[in-house]
Amino acid sequence: MTFDDQEYLQRDPLIDRILITSDEIQRRVAELGREISKEYPHSVPIVVSILKGGVMFHADLQRRLSVLHEIDFLSVSSYHGRTESSGVVRIVKDLKENITDRDVILVEDIVDTGRTLSYLLEILRARRPRSLKVVALLNKVDARVVDVPVDWVGFDIPNEFVIGYGLDWQEKYRNLPFVGVLKG
Ligand code: IMP
């Protein structure tokens, strides 16, 4: 645990504990960057960030990719401040780039029930990309309702509501450098 992690933890009595430290995240993101780079020796993939939760992971991951790539952003609404997945997702901001015949990498913060990802994959597949892969920092294996393919996973985590490193609770706590759990 870094000094920063400890500072944040001590400053906010609502944070119960750290699940994944900032060091652990950074080490894993570097590994993922190496693994993903190996897959694209001859193409320039579009790395798509899903706003807002995926932004921090996306920013760190990009800097660990050793291959040329482009970036784009997609925003869907699904959670609306509740702590349970509604399954209702809607595109709030679409991609700027045309992904037809391109290699696309979708960067997700967390796959919980899988509903959001399943919906997104359906929409993006209809645009006929050459390939479409998914990297998710966090994977709540036991919460899965929809079977959905995830090509790279940062960490499998228990079925608990987590915050930090892009993930929010009522729009707050996205700035934490670690992934943590709020007090029950
Ligand atoms: P799913 O559709 O149930 O897989 O949920 C996916 C989305 O719900 C994620 O992209 C997050 O925005 C949000 N979400 C799911 N679990 C958590 C959590 O533990 N903390 C914060 N957001 C979450």
The catalytic residues are 112
Residue 79 has what pLDDT? 53
Whether the CB of 79 sits within 6 Å of ligand 1: yes
pLDDT at 78 over 70: no
Q: Ligand 1, closest atom to CA 114? A: 4
User: Could you tell me the distance, in angstroms and rounded to a whole number, from the CA of residue 27 to the centre of ligand 1?
Assistant: 23
Nearest CA owner, ligand 1 atom 19: 161
The pLDDT-based confidence of 152 (bands split at 50, 70, 90) is very high
Helix then strand count (H, E) for the chain reads 4, 9
User: Could you tell me the distance, in angstroms and rounded to a whole number, from the CA of residue 117 to the centre of ligand 1?
Assistant: 10
Q: Ligand 1, closest atom to CA 146? A: 4
- For residue 86, what are the domain limits? 5-182
Q: Ligand 1, closest atom to CA 118? A: 2
Cβ atoms 150, 111 nearer than 8 A: yes
pLDDT at 55 over 90: yes
Alpha-carbon gap, residue 150 to 144, rounded angstroms = 12
Whether the CB of 49 sits within 6 Å of ligand 1: no
**What is the pLDDT averaged over residues 96-109?**
97
Alpha-carbon gap, residue 152 to 175, rounded angstroms = 23
Alpha-carbon gap, residue 43 to 85, rounded angstroms = 35
Alpha-carbon gap, residue 172 to 180, rounded angstroms = 13
Number of domains in the chain: 1
CATH number reported for the structural domain that contains residue 95 in this entry: 3.40.50.2020
